[in-house]
Amino acid sequence: MSENADPAEINRPIAIVILAAGHGSRMQSSTPKVLHEIGGLTMIGHVIKTAQALSPAHCICVVGAGGEAVSEAATRYAPEITIARQDPPQGTGDAVACAMPALENFTGVVVILYADTPLVTERTISTLANASANGVAVLGFKPDVPGAYGRLKTDHTGALAAIVEAKDATPEELEIPMCNAGLMAFDGEFLRQALPQLTNDNAKGEYYLTDLVAIATADGRSATIIEAPATDVIGVNSKHELAVAERLFLARAREKTQAAGALLIDPDTVYFSYDTIIEQDVRIEPSVYFGPGAAVREGATIKAFSHIEGADIGPGASIGPFARLRPETTIGSGAKVGNFVEIKKTSLSENAKVSHLTYLGDADIGASANIGAGVITCNYDGYDKHKTTIGEAAFVGSNTALVAPVTVGRGAYVGSGSVITKNIDDNALAVGRGRQTQIDNWAMKFRRSKGEAD
């Protein structure tokens, strides 16, 4: 689900450098920081997805030592991306320098993004790029608590004079409200010339990309501040911050979904993924979760406590409550999936009904078929999956087990409680259960044998 809208057109060719070399020790996880997910997509995936929407001439991802998993993820999202390596880590200026060989002949604007800043929008990036002119543009924001953020120091005209890291700032500089979000845009020619001028004479002993601002102003080039909402530039360094970013992502997704014409009865209890599609006049009841790959078409209803992932739900269909739709499932228009039904890798055609307490896996269900309560498709033999086909307008009685591979013909009936192991012809009745017998007075004799009185 895209959170970005109407990005401004970028007036020059653009190259994007994504910095992803940090170790992320504060995340307290064996998973690399930027591979943690927000809305079902890794943080680096969000940044690459946004970068791709701007059609850059080049996209380079800078990874650190042991960054194979990050490299693999980046190339999976964008096969054309260039991977650069920074080893050992020596600061952001050094990281960008590691990307410069891939931009040797590039003329245009170079935008620096961070793989742990996943909520930046296309509009924010394009505005930043257009402001870089022949020098540098820096993205700023005003947090409630500036804390350890670098401060954006201006001159007497209000132009950006320098970026001062918090550890190197004076008490007066720490009072500056405008902070550095980290994202920057540079004229490509200036960046190529200025990077070798960086030094590591600072508290951390690193090469700061932010020092390029002072180099630009000393060279008579422009240095501009673009202010962004704090929600665009939140950085994620811990599990707590990951949860904060998730909440911000969901707030955007809920607002966008409602603006597109869907009805969310209790928006704060509905969870979306990055690629969820919700069309006009969809009605979503409380406590619904959409995992990746879900689409709900016009006029459908999703009832409370349903879990939907990798499923496409047709117009006017009704799902739930307490339904689970798993990947590779398609629900036809007007179809009904009721409470405590699980469906996986199944096509449910238009106006078919699966009302309650049923499992359908690896199946094709024909139009207007009726699947009774407690029906299951026995699709797995311990080694392989097998398919069940149920024809149009067929009726499968309650508590039936369909042992795949098996076909129920068009218009056929299956008696309740059956175990079906053979194909059923069109319009036939099949009953696969033991014949009922009765032994008179057996219960009374049994109770007597246990010492009970009549």
Backbone angles phi, psi at 388, to 5 degrees: -115, 135
Give the contacts of 206 (CB within 8 A, at least 6 positions apart): 90, 91, 92, 93, 94, 200
| H helices present in 379-453, as ranges | 442-449
Amino acid, single-letter form, for residue 406: V
Structure-block tokens of residue 154: 């201006």
- Supply the angle between the helices 122-130 and 43-53 in degrees, to the nearest 10: 60
Catalytic residue chosen out of the listed positions 36, 46, 307, 356: 356
Q: How far is CA 301 from CA 34, 125, 236, 264, 285, in A?
A: 35, 37, 35, 10, 8
Task: To the nearest 10°, report the CA torsion of 72, 73, 79, 84.
Answer: -60
**DSSP secondary structure letters along 365-392:** E-TT-EE-TT-EEE-B-SS-B--EEE-T
Sign of the dihedral through C-alpha 66, 71, 72, 73: positive
What beta strand segments (E) does 27-97 contain? 37-38, 41-42, 58-64, 82-86
SS3 124: helix
Nearest to 225 by CA among 143, 144, 136: 136
Pairing outcome for strands 37-38 and 413-414: unpaired
Q: Compute the distance between CA of residue 281 and CA of residue 36 in angstroms, rounded to an integer.
A: 33
Alpha carbon 427 to chain centroid distance?
45
Nearest to 31 by CA among 67, 79, 63: 67
DSSP state of 181: E
Alpha carbon 26 to chain centroid distance?
23
DSSP state of 66: T
Tokens 């690896």, located at residue: 362
Structure-block tokens of residue 182: 């980290």
Structure-block tokens of residue 301: 């209803």
Q: Is 356 a catalytic residue?
A: yes
Nearest to 74 by CA among 93, 99, 91: 99
Q: Catalytic residue numbers?
A: 356
